A and B are shown apart, each in its own frame.
Chain A
Amino acid sequence: MTTTQSPVDERIVQVGPIAARVLVAGTGEPLLFLHGAGGLFWDPFLDTLAAEHTVYAVEHPGGNVSEDLDHLPGIWELVLFYDELLDTLGLDSVRVVGHSFGGMVAAELAANSPRRVSRLVLIAPVGFWREDHPIADIAGVPPEKLVELVLADPSSPLAATLTPPADDPQALFEAAMRMASILHFIWPIPDKGLDRRIHRVSAPTLLVWGEQDRLVDPVYAEEFTSRLRDSRLVTIPDAGHLPTLEQTAAVVPPVLGFLTGKDA
């Protein structure tokens, strides 16, 4: 594993009426990263991806400028937004890595534009619903419970970074707006018909799941592997819903190996 501190370039890319914020770093094959409900933050995992790729980490629209969501009433328009963003960036074919909600969007993008996605990494993606393992309502639980749902070790220092201080209403609201922009597409149940479209995905796909994911149970991996043409699953011990943060060193080798084709 190579780790470099890549300089991160922040770009504003105009996609129709939406000004998209994109963090760009590294050199090599282009890689699109789609984040989950916590928001976009450059972290050590993205840094390791940037050691071998040009990483384009896109901030999901609507978290800052809520009017952006008026242009994106549903998942279909969101997928078209990403498709158009890739056009604007001049990227014909990309590797795509998505986490949680970002994983669902990544799978939808790969289903919509199969020729555009060369390799797909889905880290604890949502997109399906099982009565026997319902995904918890992240809006309907107290902050401390959310920490228990997403971290294998809720007492880890990561816990403090997940929730804004309770006495800072502005910070709480900004976090709520970021989450709102995601809930917009998955409320009230994060199943918006991926099962009708996932058969179109042609990219070889790696699924990564924390063994102690209490938000999206690892049984959901079956929903993906049973439907995808070419998929493999890596489970990460001592990790919950945020394996790239909780066990970065364990996640990076299989992900980089898969993306570069060295594990094939």
Chain B
Amino acid sequence: MKSIFFHLMPYRDLPADFEKRYESIWITPPNTELCDPKKVAQYYQWNLDELELADRLGFDGVGVNEHHQNGYGFMASPNLMAASLARRTPNNSAIMVLGNTLALYAPATRVAEEFAMLDVLSNGRLAAGFPVGTSMDVNFCYGVPPTQTRPRFREAEELITQAWTRPGPFSFNGRYNQLRYVNPWPQPLQKPHPPVWLAGGGSVETWELAAAKNYTYSYLSFFGAKFGKKLMDGFWAKMDELGVDRNPFRAGFAQQICVSETDERAEKEYLEHVTYFFNKCLHIPPYFFEAPGYRTRKSTEFAIKTNQPGAIAAAAALEKNWKTLNEEGFIIAGSPSTVADRLIEVAKTLRVGNLHALLQIGSMPHELTKKNITLFAEEVMPRIRHVWDAEGWTHEWWPSGAANRAVTEPTGAQA
């Protein structure tokens, strides 16, 4: 299994009564009141230091993503962060940009250009994430009509992949992107193009696209494997239905992880920061989650059949109930062997070959974050790396210029 250190870049010093005083962490948290650029200057240094540390410690990839007007992730341009990382990751980790919210860009050739630049700059280490994007970002922050979210995403996906692979110049006559001359300089270094990583919250349409175009799919949620199982079972059932193989590297999932010397110590060190995350960083009113028209009829029919875990998570965090957070799978925390055992179990349950490890959580300070990253890299990663070796699959979606660490290590290295 590939381990990617995925950084959300949260605001680490929200006021203690934030969730009581403000409507939402996203879209409307008043910027001049809550977001101090001087603090952010410090955060950005810490965030990049943490990502660079992960590269040195041998993570397979370092991950960044895009959000807007959001207190738990103010990386409005993940490409800027990725550009910085491309120059400062000597251990050749994959640069995972998960991703650019395609529906926001018209013409979407801007994404094709910037991703191509990153791919060239990093010597072919880019994984190009194509998320549909949240309703908060796409509809509320960027003003795209909810009913245009998916059509714009699909058209942009088509335009970008053509821009990367068709000899230019050519014309593109879309509904949202109408271009007489498509001819970006340069095209990407990786051929036919950087691997595309879809990221989403469980839309049936996204799975169908993953199958049709042979893209990977990462289920990005903060609610862990227990809830994710219903979705990933749905994903694999769809792959079976469409005649796609069960290569686990087609799939990824995000997990909040806290590693310490012992299980007891993990609770002592991390509980406060995990609680901060669930109480403050997920303080989003339900009406922002899905503007009417954001989700299609088809995907809603599926979603209605599954449970929404947000309320449970919030309740568990409010009670500071470490046990519930662990049992429900919202976090995987404890000693290296506890964490490794649970990750192996989760990987097998969900059948995923890519782990987006969320190791900086909420208010977690820089020193503790470095400890979490270090313990994970040194003591957890070697135990989970070879989870899928016995099945003999090839990771067809790993950036070709990135180090492929799994093959350089002896098999059977698990403790």
Contacts and interface: CB of A to CB of B under 8 A. Distances in A.
Contact of A180 (B286, B287, B292): B292
A193 B292 CA distance: 23
Interface string B114-154: 00000000000000000000000001100111111001000
Nearest to A141: B287
Given A66-B296, A169-B304, A142 B285 contact: yes
A194 interface: no
Contact of A173 (B27, B145, B288, B300): B300
Interface in B368-415: none
B293 interface: yes
Q: How large is the interface on B (under 10, 10 to 19, 20 to 34, 35 or more residues)?
A: 20 to 34
B287 A184 contact: no
Given A139-B291, A140-B140, A173-B304, A180 B146 contact: yes
Interface string A59-83: 0001000100110010000000000
A162 interface: no
A248 B61 CA distance: 65
A176 B288 contact: no
A187 B143 contact: yes
Contacts of A69: 147
Contacts of A66: 147, 293, 296-297
A177 interface: yes
B288 A177 contact: no
Interface string B270-303: 0000000000000001111011110011001000
Contact of A139 (B175, B292, B296, B297): B292
Contacts of A140: 27, 140, 287-288, 291
Nearest to B135: A139
A189 to B, nearest CB: 8
A62 B148 CA distance: 13
Contact of B293 (A70, A73, A142, A180): A180
Nearest to B140: A140
A233 interface: no
Contacts of B27: 140
B44 to A, nearest CB: 30
Interface string B150-172: 01000000000000000000000
Contacts of B148: 184
Contacts of A187: 139, 143-146, 291
Contacts of A178: 292
Contacts of B286: 142
Residue among B148, B285, B291 with most chain A CB within 10 A: B291
A184 B143 contact: no
A157 interface: no
A170 interface: yes
What does DSSP make chain A's interface, helix, strand, loop or mixed?
Answer: helix
Contacts of A170: 304
Interface string B172-190: 0001000000000000000
Contacts of B297: 66, 173, 177
B147 A180 contact: yes
A183 interface: yes
A183 B300 contact: no
Interface in A180-212: 180-181, 183-184, 187-188
Contacts of B139: 139, 187-188
B145 to A, nearest CB: 4
A179 B145 CA distance: 12
Interface string B296-314: 1100100010000000000
A36 to B, nearest CB: 14
B145 A183 contact: yes
Nearest to A188: B143
A68 to B, nearest CB: 11
A179 B175 CA distance: 23
A170 B290 CA distance: 14
Nearest to B145: A187
Nearest to A182: B292
B310 to A, nearest CB: 14
A184 B285 contact: no
Interface of B: 27, 139-140, 143-148, 151, 175, 285-288, 290-293, 296-297, 300, 304
4 shortest A-B CB distances, which residue pairs?
A180-B293, A187-B145, A180-B292, A176-B292
28 contacts: A66-B147, A66-B293, A66-B296, A69-B147, A73-B175, A139-B139, A139-B291, A139-B292, A140-B27, A140-B287, A140-B288, A140-B291, A142-B286, A170-B304, A176-B293, A179-B293, A180-B147, A180-B291, A180-B292, A180-B293, A181-B293, A183-B145, A183-B293, A187-B139, A187-B144, A187-B145, A187-B291, A188-B143
Given A142-B287, A184-B293, 9 more contacts: A62-B147, A66-B147, A139-B287, A177-B293, A180-B146, A180-B293, A183-B292, A187-B143, A188-B140
